[in-house]
Amino acid sequence: CPAPSDLRLPNGTRICAQLYTDNSPYYDQCCAGAVLVVDPGADVPYMPRGWAARTSSLVVGTRCELTVWSRAGKKGKSRRFGS
């Protein structure tokens, strides 16, 4: 997985988080598969099409916090992740 401080686009723009579809019990094989990029300040109450219940691993950038909910529309239980 990338280090939280390394989350940047090729042009140098900072990324708040990256979510991945594939995970593994072996750390060097985590953070694989499709990638969903979360920009700083993004407010997304619904997961993009095809992403619901597919996230297996994630990395949150430095100075960012990612809050997720168990149900669509910011309903249900929530959990916060930081770097």
pLDDT at 79: 95
Cα 5 to Cα 14: distance, rounded to the nearest angstrom: 9
- Chain segment 5-53, per-residue pLDDT in tens: 999 988 988 999 999 988 777 777 788 889 999 999 999 888 888 888 8
pLDDT at 12: 87
Q: Return the domain boundaries, the chain.
A: 17-78
Does the pLDDT of residue 54 top 90, yes or no? no
How far is CA 53 from each of CA 11, 22, 35, 63, rounded to the nearest angstrom?
30, 12, 14, 26
Cα 20 to Cα 55: distance, rounded to the nearest angstrom: 6
- pTM (2 d.p.): 0.83
